[in-house]
Amino acid sequence: MAPTPAAQALHHARRAIPPLALLTTRALSTRALTVNDTQKVTLGVIGAYVVAIALLWNIPYVRGILWPFKMLVIAFHEFGHALAACCTGGRVKSISLDPNEGGVTHMLGGKQAITLPAGYLGSSLVGALLIFCGFNVVASKVASIVLGVCFLVTLWWARKDWLTYLTIGLAVGLLVACWFIAHAQALRFVVLFIGVMSSLYSVWDICDDLILRKINSSDASQFAQRYGGSSQCWGVIWSIISVLFMVAGIIAGIAAFPQTFAEQDDASKKFIPTM
């Protein structure tokens, strides 16, 4: 018995569904990764930050401009060590920052295979997440709240270290002030800068310590002594992972936040609004 015209039409419709679904998925994927004008501005700002940080990092006498932000990302670095220690059964005794752009986390226990790379990779992951949030004002507000909680935890671990208190206090003050500038439009550019700084600091610090200066007391040298390989090798591996984190944060930000500046401003006015 020959199929009816209705049955034939249903059969053809079913056959057309997979290609249609595939085309729709492709269209959505293409649209999600299409860079609009607002995102182009954000990408341009990221590029400008990269160039500015690279110059300020190496030019004598003016490199001190980055000092407060260096101390901040060192705090991220030490927070990564501390959090990894807590997650692997260890206990954090204290965190302290050094005016000469160093830091140390005193802890007992924990798995060193995780806690040692957690400083570099943890600060890189924080940087990537901040870059992701920096594509959107509301997301930047959420990120600043989360940062505030992390800062409070870090202050608890800091005990009586005045530099840690000062660094985190200034960072919190900057974030709070930016909430009141153009309905927090300025906040996302500050969050973006801290994210870029945190991501790049991990890479450049590894290069400075392990490739250029070859300092033997780094996290990577301790990791190499315990688990084999060379400190330079582990430093390069961790640098590559840090760059991949940063790229992933940028791609995710483009895909997740296609809103224009005007749309972001309207959304910001409805989410914990400020004058």
Please state the domain extents for the chain: 37-257
Asked whether the beta carbons of 31 and 253 are under 8 A apart, the reply is no
Measured in residues, the chain has a length of 275
Give CA–CA dist 13/159, Å, rounded. Answer: 68
Q: What is the pLDDT of residues 162-200, one digit of tens each?
A: 888 888 888 888 888 998 888 888 999 999 999 999 998
Q: Kind and range of the H or E element at 93?
A: strand 91-98
Amino acid at residue number 13: A
Angle (deg, nearest 10), helices 185-206 and 261-270 = 110
Residues 6 or more apart whose Cβ sits within 8 Å of residue 99 = 163
Asked whether the beta carbons of 214 and 230 are under 8 A apart, the reply is no
Query: How far is the CA of 152 from the CAs of 27, 63, 76, 80, 149, in angstroms?
Result: 44, 28, 12, 14, 5
pTM listed for this prediction: 0.82
In this prediction, residue 133 carries a pLDDT of 96
Under-70 pLDDT residues of the chain: 1-33, 100-101, 159-160, 208-217, 275
Q: What is the pLDDT of residues 198-212, one digit of tens each?
A: 998 777 777 766 655
Give CA–CA dist 42/254, Å, rounded. Answer: 9
Give CA–CA dist 12/19, Å, rounded. Answer: 12
Give CA–CA dist 201/49, Å, rounded. Answer: 12
Give CA–CA dist 221/226, Å, rounded. Answer: 9
Of 144, 176, 175, 180, nearest in space to 269 by CA? 180
In this prediction, residue 275 carries a pLDDT of 62
Q: Where are the alpha helices (DSSP H) in 134-230?
A: 137-158, 162-179, 185-206, 219-227
In this prediction, residue 211 carries a pLDDT of 58
User: For residue 106, what are the β-bridge partners?
Assistant: 94
Asked whether the beta carbons of 94 and 159 are under 8 A apart, the reply is yes
